[in-house]
Amino acid sequence: MKVGVPTEIKTDEYRVALTPSGVRELVDAGHQVFVQRGAGEGSSISDGDYEAQGARILPDAEAVFGEAEMIVKVKEPQAVEVARLEPRHTLFTYLHLAPDPELTKGLVASGATCIAYETVEDARGRLPLLAPMSEVAGKIATQAGAFMLEKPLGGRGILLGGVPGVAAAKVLVIGGGVVGMNAAFIAIGMEADVYVYDRNIDRLRELDVAFGGRCSTCYASTLDIERRLPEADLVIGAVLIHGAKAPYVITRDQLKLMKPGAVIVDVSIDQGGCFETSRPTTHSDPTFEVEGVTHYCVANMPGAVPITSTYALTNATLPFVLAIASHGVQSAIARDAGLRKGVNVAGGHVTCEPVAQAVGLPFVEIDEALGAGAVA
Ligand SMILES: NC(=O)c1ccc[n+]([C@@H]2O[C@H](COP(=O)([O-])OP(=O)(O)OC[C@H]3O[C@@H](n4cnc5c(N)ncnc54)[C@H](O)[C@@H]3O)[C@@H](O)[C@H]2O)c1
């Protein structure tokens, strides 16, 4: 198969979807790889590094989309990229379609087969292609929150871990999955007073054991969160319902309960945000204020640390890239039920039920959609 790697064009995005190791594995398996000139620069990977492993460097995105059958990316396609997609293409990337009807309609109209990293599942129903970036985003969330609590940056002016004789800051982590666990891990390491909320009691049990009681685990009832908000210095939102738009765990009215200068970090912003007052921001302009509370809502947090994130992401995606390249989409998803769950759009239809519900388009089974072939 011909595999194409365009340069990421989302604001402040420095990751790349394939490393030279990935090129080597694909080429050894008999595939051709086309990389856009400079695609790896943000992650300190040169064109020469790719060429040395057998990739062909093409001058621009148009050439890459023109040559390739499968496009491998990191972030959701931007409008100019959607316009380049055709029914012959397979797109493999993060899509986050539930909060984005416009992008969903664009992908449906393209006729391409679009597989979302974030809905691919493993045998235990976990999200193997979201997990590495969630680990990064969770760690950044606490780091960014601690920074934004500094007075010159508009924060309350409290040190997360306190000092002897002065109490530590209170950190609430809502959603104790991969992001939440990593955020809590760093907050505990910084000696904050940490509370992790989830609605899955088995998950709270796991966290309790993992952290050896060094944070409080709490059931995420509306009332319990509401009661804790007036004490919170930093709240990290990290909930997820697979494929769906994020539920609100703090409403605009509840935000008013928080102290002026407190900070909220909405990691779930890529699924529409879990605080009612959130809107997506960028690394260049990461925060805004509502009701005196600083909101940090960067939708591509791992993009800021590409040297870590590119390798963490591609370690996880490469086996799936190889499977799709070697077997084709239909055979690859027949062999792997978890990869099948990644197909969000195919043959001009939405093939992921939570996405169809969220964007108000009809849901069509994958086999029917791939069989249909034509754009609706
Ligand atoms: N902004 C970014 O750059 C970035 C990067 C990586 C991940 N993310 C996003 O972070 C979010 C979390 O990802 P994850 O990998 O940790 O997911 P996960 O599935 O591992 O964890 C989500 C947790 O939320 C819990 N949950 C669901 N509804 C809840 C509710 N109402 N109250 C409390 N808990 C609830 C679930 O039980 C689960 O434990 C996702 O939306 C993901 O896309 C964002």
Give the tens place of pLDDT for each residue, 197-211.
999 999 999 999 999
Task: Give, for ligand 1, the residue of 240, 274, 308 to mutate: max count of ligand atoms closer than 8 Å to Cβ.
Answer: 240
- For residue 133, the ligand 1 atom closest to its alpha carbon is 6
Determine the average pLDDT of the residues in 78-106.
97
Check pLDDT > 50 for residue 111.
yes
pLDDT of residue 373: 46
Distance CA 325, CA 1 (A): 5
Choice among 28-32, 277-281, 342-346, 369-373 with the minimum mean pLDDT: 369-373
pLDDT bin (cut points 50, 70, 90) of residue 117 is very high
The pTM of the full predicted model, rounded to 2 decimals, is: 0.93
- For residue 180, the ligand 1 atom closest to its alpha carbon is 16
Distance 177 CA to ligand 1 centre (A): 6
pLDDT of residue 376: 38
**Average predicted confidence (pLDDT) for the chain:** 96
Asked whether 268 lines ligand 1 (CB < 6 A), one says yes
Check pLDDT > 70 for residue 359.
yes
List C-alpha distances in Å: 124 to 92, 200, 337: 22, 16, 11
Asked whether 133 lines ligand 1 (CB < 6 A), one says yes
Kindly tell me the burial class for residue 206, based on how many C-beta atoms sit within 10 Å of its own C-beta (0-12, 13-18, 19 or more).
middle
Asked whether 209 lines ligand 1 (CB < 6 A), one says no
Q: What is the largest CA-CA distance in the chain?
A: 69
Nearest-CA residue for atom 24 of ligand 1: 239
Starting at the edge strand found earlier in the chain, the sheet holding 170-174 runs 216-219, 193-198, 170-174, 234-237, 263-266, 293-296, 287-290
Determine the average pLDDT of the residues in 89-116.
97
Determine the average pLDDT of the residues in 44-50.
98
Asked whether 98 lines ligand 1 (CB < 6 A), one says no
Phi, psi of 189 (to 5 degrees): -60, -30
Distance CA 212, CA 222 (A): 26
Determine the average pLDDT of the residues in 236-256.
96
Asked whether 342 lines ligand 1 (CB < 6 A), one says no
Distance CA 342, CA 16 (A): 20
- For residue 303, the ligand 1 atom closest to its alpha carbon is 3
Identify whether the C-beta of residue 215 lies closer than 8 Å to the C-beta of residue 188: yes
Distance 212 CA to ligand 1 centre (A): 22
Asked whether 262 lines ligand 1 (CB < 6 A), one says no
Distance 195 CA to ligand 1 centre (A): 16
Asked whether 5 lines ligand 1 (CB < 6 A), one says no
- 221 CB contacts (<8 Å, ≥6 apart)? none
Determine the average pLDDT of the residues in 311-317.
97
Asked whether 130 lines ligand 1 (CB < 6 A), one says yes
- For residue 300, the ligand 1 atom closest to its alpha carbon is 3
**Per-residue pLDDT tens for 147-189?**
999 999 999 999 999 999 999 999 999 999 999 999 999 999 9
Determine the average pLDDT of the residues in 107-123.
97
The active-site residue out of 31, 89, 96, 349 is 96
pLDDT of residue 375: 42
What share of the chain has pLDDT > 70, as a percent? 99
Q: Is 122 a catalytic residue?
A: no
pLDDT bin (cut points 50, 70, 90) of residue 243 is confident
- 251 CB contacts (<8 Å, ≥6 apart)? 276
Check pLDDT > 60 for residue 324.
yes
Kindly tell me the burial class for residue 166, based on how many C-beta atoms sit within 10 Å of its own C-beta (0-12, 13-18, 19 or more).
exposed
Check pLDDT > 60 for residue 95.
yes
Check pLDDT > 90 for residue 263.
yes
Determine the average pLDDT of the residues in 323-350.
97
Distance 274 CA to ligand 1 centre (A): 9
Determine the average pLDDT of the residues in 252-279.
97
pLDDT bin (cut points 50, 70, 90) of residue 374 is very low
Asked whether 198 lines ligand 1 (CB < 6 A), one says yes
Asked whether 197 lines ligand 1 (CB < 6 A), one says yes
Q: Is 349 a catalytic residue?
A: no
Check pLDDT > 70 for residue 329.
yes
The active-site residue out of 100, 233, 266, 270 is 270
Check pLDDT > 90 for residue 371.
no
pLDDT bin (cut points 50, 70, 90) of residue 253 is very high
Asked whether 174 lines ligand 1 (CB < 6 A), one says yes
Task: Give, for ligand 1, the residue of 74, 130, 241 to mutate: max count of ligand atoms closer than 8 Å to Cβ.
Answer: 130
Check pLDDT > 70 for residue 372.
no
- For residue 131, the ligand 1 atom closest to its alpha carbon is 15
Choice among 69-73, 239-243, 328-332 with the minimum mean pLDDT: 239-243
